[in-house]
A and B are shown apart, each in its own frame.
Chain A
Amino acid sequence: DAGVIQSPRHEVTEMGQEVTLRCKPISGHNSLFWYRQTMMRGLELLIYFNNNVPIDDSGMPEDRFSAKMPNASFSTLKIQPSEPRDSAVYFCASSLAGGEAFFGQGTRLTVV
């Protein structure tokens, strides 16, 4: 398996634009997580899904952030409108119930 695949690896956008980050989890995994990593706040859990259903979105910063998982092999994290303070590395991870989380390589987002 190729592991968790995230795209794009890097994204630079202007403030106010919509940004969509994409994630393909490991085949067969039933949990998917979106994390944000910054120097100031470390690794924060934004939202996680189990069997494609959002279970806990309490980490989503505000209504500008939304996440979907239309099927077991794809998830998106959308920011609309984006702001400079959203600049961070966004990680997607997946796991099979009871096991460890496998991380993607991350998307480095820069909002200017």
Chain B
Amino acid sequence: AQSVTQLDSQVPVFEEAPVELRCNYSSSVSVYLFWYVQYPNQGLQLLLKYLSGSTLVKGINGFEAEFNKSQTSFHLRKPSVHISDTAEYFCAVRGSGTYKYIFGTGTRLKVLA
């Protein structure tokens, strides 16, 4: 069965500093990968997705992620964070032969002034 591991439950970082949120997945088949952001009392909003093609994916709000098949990772990065990036971030995987999206446990990013 597919699974997603987000290694960090909380990441504090100062404003304008870079950040990386880690995501590893386990799957023996081709996968599609996603990062979502959730602001308080809201639903999940797509940040970016990897379906095929270039392994470096750019998303909204200046975020990007790199698909690394050999390391089964899909880490999310931003070179300079803002206070408004404070939120919970979820990594998700979907196998190519299924419609099922499996989510990680989330990483709470707190940007400090």
Contacts and interface: CB of A to CB of B under 8 A. Distances in A.
Interface residues of B, number: 20
Q: Is the interface of B mostly helix, strand, loop or mixed?
A: strand
A1 interface: no
Interface string A79-112: 0000000000001010101101111111000000
Interface stretch (B21-29, B60-68, B75-83, B99-107): B99-107
B44 A91 contact: yes
Contacts of B102: 45
> Which of A93, A95, A97, A100 has the most chain B CB atoms closer than 10 A to its own CB?
A100
Q: Interface SS of chain A: helix, strand, loop or mixed? A: strand
Contacts of B100: 45, 48, 55-56
What band does the interface of chain A fall in when counting residues whose beta carbon is under 8 Å from B? 20 to 34
A103 B99 contact: no
A73 interface: no
Contacts of A102: 46
Interface centre among B32, B42, B101, B102 (most CB of A within 10 A): B101
Given A42-B103, A45-B103, A103-B43, 8 more contacts: A43-B106, A45-B101, A48-B100, A93-B101, A103-B36, A104-B43, A105-B42, A106-B42
Interface of B: 32, 34, 36, 42-46, 49, 51, 90, 92, 99-106
Interface of A: 4, 31, 33, 35, 42-43, 45, 48, 50, 55-56, 91, 93, 95, 97-98, 100-106
